[in-house]
Structure 1
């Protein structure tokens, strides 16, 4: 019987198939990270990309219509800290849709009331965060120009 290292060194080996049951994985969604998958909403696809602390890069989600998965300027994307990802190509029209925001929250495991960073129109206000110290609601805004 060969060891696993010896098995890998075999010259006629061209692929390895590893089968893992979903019940053995703590977060089954991780199996699809980096791949476009159906969202469950008509014509919308999502892709969750893993974090890379070396860059640093947060875990984030991209959302697009099926025909726009190769067009970054037709997508909305958010990091798991609720900030916009790919700010230079973030499509504000796509990102303003409630269905897209809900898909992003679900994909990132955020609560449904989580506020995702977005710009509603050029020269609009960017909602940074909301805090409720002592039951007084405080909203933090930053002025933003188009493409910010």
Structure 2
């Protein structure tokens, strides 16, 4: 077939290794700039080539995941790449004297409960005074001692 513009490269041309690595790491802007400079093409053409490579890569990943899922007996309906995961919304009953917490506070509280339960499982006992409180007491005692010595010498 006759190509009217010999400088025009097809979109499906293979990308250089460095560009492929940038695309896989998610550094798309740098990949587009580098491809445009290396091959002396416009940014739009470079973006089209990189987008084509990305869709090809995603299709390969989907195919690999579906073949693995089929081997393990997972139905294809369970593997949906286009939709967001469903979040269950549990309506909470109103409690009169309770302050509602935000999601980040709930996450921290659940993390704290998990750590506490893990420490209980291994038999760890919490100390009576935390480590930072012991340090403050030692520093205060040293300062009081120095103050008393200086008061006796100069007072």
TM-score (norm 1): 0.23
Q: Which has the higher contact order (CA 8 A, sep 6+)?
A: 1
* Structure with larger Rg: 2
